[in-house]
Structure 1
């Protein structure tokens, strides 16, 4: 009998391989051949699922965002009503371990490309809209007294804080160990969240 292939699983496997190649070599240096080797498939198999390098790279971006959204949903699963616990959950999105640092390096690579690629810029805007919506939902679940407008403003500020610290820690990993990242995030978010949740 011919071998049954799970095409969605194969596509996801190739996307994961693309992520590892981009993290190691950079976006511009990533080649279909390298991705095929990392995925354990032929170059022909890669081109079967993706009609070129740009399509493969976009799929890799989709995969990392899918992972990030899954992490957001897991981190903020259920109400907490505790500012400290909420900030601890938010810290999971910083580059505080090897896997997180790799993800941020890949994200950086796509940022650089999105500056000159309108299609990637549009995807980037859509992703951030999703991140903001998920953070907004988590805030209102954790702190039911927040108004919708306040929750949305807080979501934007939280994402900006994570982005800023993520940039510093990715470019200067030795200077920004996990403990320093978490402490800085707490300094940024604690006063803002405490003020908002007290209705001051």
Structure 2
């Protein structure tokens, strides 16, 4: 019997080809024809699975986010809230070839979204999901009810979990950019992240 076609697998094959092109040359000049050549398939096959480049880009971005979450969950579950936060953020930093490629792809998406706002919704949704996850873990690590009824974190007086989560994500985004541009060593980026986590979780500094 002929092997049943796995449509998800085909879409991921094409998305991986798009990611390689995005890392090498950005997204602005990439066409469905370029993706077909990179994947070693016909342009017609690409068009069968993705009607437009924007549709394929949205799928590829979601695939990157799913892989990041999957790696962190596989490595750390079950773990403490602090370990889950650190594990997820380490998966976002470009500390190996896989994560370096993913960071290049996300940067290319940001650049493309700046001139093509219709594609930006995928970025917003992915960032919002990550911030929500981080904030939930920070709440679980130690909830403090402020006089105004808002949650506060023990480690950083006056800062609520939502803002702390946004700050962590912004920190990692900035560190990732500096590692990619070779302004910062990977080990130094991890050290900076750990120092911020120690501050948030109220740990003693060495």
Relative to the length of structure 2, the TM-score reads: 0.79
Q: Which has the higher contact order (CA 8 A, sep 6+)?
A: 1
Give, in whole Å, the separation in 1 of the partners of 2:53 and 2:116.
Answer: 14
Unaligned runs of 5+ in 2: 146-150, 153-159
Q: What is the RMSD of the two structures over their aligned residues, measured on CA atoms?
A: 2.5
Aligned residues: 190
Return the offset for 1:25.
2.1
In structure 2, do the counterparts of structure 1 residues 116 and 2 end up closer, same or farther at CA, with 3 Å as the change threshold?
same
Instruction: Quote the residue 1:124 is aligned against.
Output: 123
Instruction: Quote the residue 2:165 is aligned against.
Output: 155
Give CA deviations for 1:17-55 in whole Å, capped at 9, x if unaligned: 211221122112323233223323211100101112222
Higher mean alpha-carbon deviation, 112-121 vs 70-79, is at 70-79
1:190 and 2:198 correspond? yes
Give, in whole Å, the separation in 2 of the partners of 1:184 and 1:169.
Answer: 12
Query: Which structure shows the bigger proportion of residues in helix conformation?
Result: 1
Unaligned runs of 5+ in 1: 196-200
Within 5 Å, give how 1:45-124 maps onto structure 2: 45-74=45-74, 76-80=76-80, 85=83, 88-89=86-87, 90-124=89-123
Instruction: Quote the residue 2:174 is aligned against.
Output: 164
Contact residue 73 and residue 134 of structure 1 kept, 8 A: no
In structure 2, do the counterparts of structure 1 residues 77 and 153 end up closer, same or farther at CA, with 3 Å as the change threshold?
farther
Runs (4+) of structure 1 moved beyond 6 Å?
none
Contact residue 132 and residue 155 of structure 1 kept, 8 A: yes
Secondary structure at the aligned position of 1:131 is classed as helix
Relative to the length of structure 1, the TM-score reads: 0.81
In structure 2, do the counterparts of structure 1 residues 87 and 8 end up closer, same or farther at CA, with 3 Å as the change threshold?
closer
In structure 2, do the counterparts of structure 1 residues 153 and 78 end up closer, same or farther at CA, with 3 Å as the change threshold?
farther
Contact residue 139 and residue 151 of structure 1 kept, 8 A: yes
Higher mean alpha-carbon deviation, 85-94 vs 185-194, is at 85-94
Contact residue 13 and residue 39 of structure 1 kept, 8 A: yes
Q: 2:184 aligns with which of 173, 176, 183?
A: 176
Contact residue 16 and residue 63 of structure 1 kept, 8 A: no
Contact residue 72 and residue 84 of structure 2 kept, 8 A: no
